[in-house]
Amino acid sequence: MLTTDKFGEVAGHAVTAYTIENRNGVQLTVLDYGATWHALNVPTPDGSHQNLILNTDLAGYAKPDGYFGKAIGRFAGRIGAGQLVLDGQPVAVPANEGTTTLHGGPHGFSTLFFKADAAADHVTFTRTVTPETDGFPGTLDVSVTYTLTAADEVVIDFTGATDQTTVFNPTNHVYWNLNAADDTIENHTLRLAAASHYELEPSKVLTGAVVANADTPYDFREPRQLGPALRELQTIPEAGLDDVFAIDDHAATEPVAVLSQGQRQVTMYSARNAVVVFTSNHFGDELHFLHHQSRPHVGIAMEAQTSAAGLVDPGLTQATLAAGTSRHEQIRYAFTY
Ligand code: GAL
């Protein structure tokens, strides 16, 4: 079942919310602004609903770092100055974090308005992103489809088709908080199929070196509660997790991440080689969420993507999309409640 509502207006553009409800009473709400995942409301025993993801209002979504639930592209993560090389030529792209291009730069997917095509169980957002739009080479036709299945899964399908060689490394920046009450994610348990993570420069651009997770706070191969792990990381500048995990080779049926709290659980599937885990470490009063007070560790983002290590080591998997080609990427989240 599909419902369409006026959500508000940003910079003169009307924003529409699309809500899909499945036969179990689960409701998925997405917005055409930023192709944003706005809510995942699951039924509760008392007959009401609980939202499992952090969300905000249009003022919050319009902030430069308002990546909550947004579609991210053309390139999730960080491209350091001079790092992008396409067809053997260095390519400059606009910076939005010092000299770094974060999450597609100042005019990435998260800032754009999409055309929507909604049906009973899915919404497809499309648009053409030109070099004039975001400063990346190539005219890129993008689609982002959110599907809510009868088996309580949200499936996000991203496609990109380009006329000139570019990069296509999309993800979704949804933050989870599975607590029934207003609390942080420190009481959540995380399992991550990652034996290593990437070393970072102080600017958070990858150095190319890989660090083994065994016997470090970064080892989540067995389910571990986040609170104690985050406490071990309080003395580093991040004061928590903000890391690029290298995902182990795995079968498509094997999850890359499992997050749980009580009986609520989200299981993420992806064929990509990396997941950035970010535990909203320095969040404070400057942010406003609809169901949770903003504070450190109020949410956890698990961003499946192609590792930016390919920018440093040409021998690794690349996010390049060659002229005249297209690519499909999928992230699937199964949840119980
Ligand atoms: C993450 C990134 C963080 C922060 C966040 C958005 O992907 O690793 O450093 O920028 O996005 O606020």
Mean pLDDT, consecutive 10-residue segments, the chain of 337 residues? 97 97 98 98 96 97 96 98 97 98 98 97 98 98 98 98 98 98 97 98 96 97 98 94 96 97 97 98 96 97 98 96 98 98
**Residue 97, C-beta contacts closer than 8 angstroms, at least 6 positions apart:** 78, 203
CA distance 221 to 266: 16
**Ligand 1 atom with minimal separation from the 65 CA:** 12
Instruction: Specify the residue with its C-alpha closest to ligand 1, atom 11.
Output: 278
Instruction: Using most ligand atoms within 8 A of CB, pick from 54, 97, 102 the residue to mutate for ligand 1.
Output: 102
Burial of 294 (0-12, 13-18, 19+ CB in 10 A): middle
Which of 103, 297, 303, 329 is labelled catalytic?
Answer: 303
How far, in Å, is the centroid of ligand 1 from the Cα of 278? 6
Give the pLDDT confidence score for residue 209 in this predicted structure. Answer: 95
Instruction: Using most ligand atoms within 8 A of CB, pick from 54, 63, 67, 243 the residue to mutate for ligand 1.
Output: 67
* Amino acid in the structure at residue 30: V
Pocket around ligand 1: residues whose beta carbon is below 6 Å from it? 65, 67, 102, 204, 242, 276, 278, 303
Instruction: Specify the residue with its C-alpha closest to ligand 1, atom 5.
Output: 278
Closest to 286 measured CA to CA, from 298, 277, 276, 278: 298
Reading the block at residue 102, the tokens are 């974060």
The angle subtended at Cα 152 by Cα 332 and Cα 8, nearest 5°, is: 80
**Ligand 1 atom with minimal separation from the 244 CA:** 8
Which of 173, 188, 292, 297 is labelled catalytic?
Answer: 173
Q: Is the dihedral of CA 29, 282, 337, 271 positive or negative?
A: positive
CA distance 151 to 335: 9
232 carries an active-site annotation: no
CA distance 314 to 65: 29
**Ligand 1 atom with minimal separation from the 97 CA:** 10
**Ligand 1 atom with minimal separation from the 67 CA:** 6
Give the pLDDT confidence score for residue 138 in this predicted structure. Answer: 98
Closest to 80 measured CA to CA, from 105, 107, 100, 104: 100
Closest to 142 measured CA to CA, from 35, 15, 65: 35
* DSSP character at residue 249: P
CB-CB neighbours of 10 under 10 Å = 17
3-state secondary structure of 269: strand
CB 258 within 8 A of CB 266: yes
Within 13 Å and on the Cβ side, how many CA atoms surround 324? 0
Give the pLDDT confidence score for residue 206 in this predicted structure. Answer: 97
Kindly tell me the number of DSSP H helices and DSSP E strands found in the chain. Answer: 4, 28
Q: Is the peptide bond before 272 cis (omega within 30 degrees of 0)?
A: no
How far, in Å, is the centroid of ligand 1 from the Cα of 319? 19
How far, in Å, is the centroid of ligand 1 from the Cα of 103? 8
Closest to 155 measured CA to CA, from 17, 5, 22: 22
Closest to 137 measured CA to CA, from 91, 102, 169, 95: 91
9 carries an active-site annotation: no
**Ligand 1 atom with minimal separation from the 102 CA:** 10
Give the pLDDT confidence score for residue 101 in this predicted structure. Answer: 98
